[in-house]
Amino acid sequence: MKSEGTISLDWGKINFFLGEVLRNFTRNAGMQATAIGTVAVTIVLLGAFLYARASLAHVAGEVMSQITISVYTQPDATAAQEDALRTAFAKDDRIVSSEFVPKKQGLRELRERMKGQIDTSILTENPLPDKFRIKVRDPEQVPAVAARIRKLPGVQNVDYGRDVVQRLLQLGAVARRAGIGLIVLFVLVAGIIISNTIRLTVFARRREISIMQLVGATNMYIRMPFICEGLIDGALGAALALGLLALARMTLLPKLSLALPWLQLNAARVDVGALVLELVGAGAAVGVVASWIAVGRYLRT
Amino acid sequence: MISLRGVSLVYPNGVRALDGIDLEIRKGDFVFLVGHSGTGKSSLLRLLYREMLPTGGEITVDGIRVDRLRRARVPMLRRHLGVVFQDYKLLTDKTVWENVAFALQVTGAHTKDVMRQVPRCLDLVGLSHKSRMYPGELSGGEQQRTAIARALVNNPKLLLCDEPTGNLDPANTTEIMELLGRINLKGTTVVVATHNQAVVDRMRRRVVRLEDGRIVTDEERGYYFLGLGQDQLLSG
Q: A3 pLDDT band (50/70/90 cuts)?
A: very low
Local structure of B108: helix, strand or coil: coil
- Segment B203-217 shows an average pLDDT of 91
Q: B48 pLDDT band (50/70/90 cuts)?
A: very high
Contact A214 B107 (CB under 8 A): no
Residue A1: per-residue pLDDT: 43
Phi first, then psi, for residue B82 (nearest 5°) are -110, 145
Contact A12 B111 (CB under 8 A): yes
Mean predicted lDDT score pLDDT of chain B: 91
**Higher-confidence position of B44 and A277:** B44
B69 touches chain A (CB under 8 A): no
- Segment B27-53 shows an average pLDDT of 92
Q: Of B34, B61, B35, B39, whose CA–CA distance to B50 is shortest?
A: B61
Contact B75 A217 (CB under 8 A): yes
**pTM for the full model?**
0.73
Strand B206-211, strand A68-73: pairing: unpaired
Report pLDDT digits (tens) over A28-71.
788 888 888 888 888 888 877 777 777 777 777 777 777 788 88
B91 touches chain A (CB under 8 A): yes
Give how far A10 is from chain B: nearest CA, Å. 7
Residue A271: per-residue pLDDT: 67
Neighboring chain A residues of B49 at a CB cutoff of 8 Å: 214
Neighboring chain A residues of B77 at a CB cutoff of 8 Å: 216
Q: Residue B77's closest chain A neighbor by CA?
A: A216
Report pLDDT digits (tens) over B78-99.
999 999 999 999 999 999 999 9
Residue B164: per-residue pLDDT: 94
Whole-angstrom distance, CA of residue A244 vs CA of residue A248: 6
Residue A20: per-residue pLDDT: 83
Contact B107 A207 (CB under 8 A): no
DSSP A128: P
Whole-angstrom distance, CA of residue A211 vs CA of residue A217: 9
Share of chain A above pLDDT 90, in %: 3
B103 touches chain A (CB under 8 A): yes
DSSP A160: S
What residue type is assigned to position A274 of the chain? A
Report the residue from B83, B107, B114 with minimal CB separation from A217: B107
Examine the pLDDT at B226 and tell me if it is beyond 70. Answer: no
Whole-angstrom distance, CA of residue B209 vs CA of residue B195: 10
Q: A143 pLDDT band (50/70/90 cuts)?
A: confident
Examine the pLDDT at A5 and tell me if it is beyond 60. Answer: no
Local structure of B6: helix, strand or coil: strand
- Segment B161-181 shows an average pLDDT of 93
Residue B232: per-residue pLDDT: 52
Report pLDDT digits (tens) over A80-94.
888 888 888 888 888
Report the residue from B76, B111, B150 with minimal CB separation from A10: B111
Residues 9-48 of B with CB under 8 A from A: none
**Higher-confidence position of A1 and B126:** B126
Contact B89 A10 (CB under 8 A): no
Neighboring chain B residues of A296 at a CB cutoff of 8 Å: none
Examine the pLDDT at A203 and tell me if it is beyond 50. Answer: yes
Contact A214 B83 (CB under 8 A): yes
Report the residue from B103, B110, B115 with minimal CB separation from A215: B103
Examine the pLDDT at A16 and tell me if it is beyond 60. Answer: yes
Q: Which residues pair with A101 in a beta bridge?
A: A131
| ipTM (interface pTM) | 0.87
Contact B91 A207 (CB under 8 A): yes
Span of A124-133, A181-190, A215-224, B205-214 with lowest mean pLDDT? A124-133
Q: Of B35, B5, B14, whose CA–CA distance to B224 is shortest?
A: B35
B95 touches chain A (CB under 8 A): no
Give how far A217 is from chain B: nearest CA, Å. 5
Neighboring chain A residues of B150 at a CB cutoff of 8 Å: 215
What residue type is assigned to position A136 of the chain? V
- Segment A183-205 shows an average pLDDT of 85
Report the residue from B75, B114, B154 with minimal CB separation from A218: B75
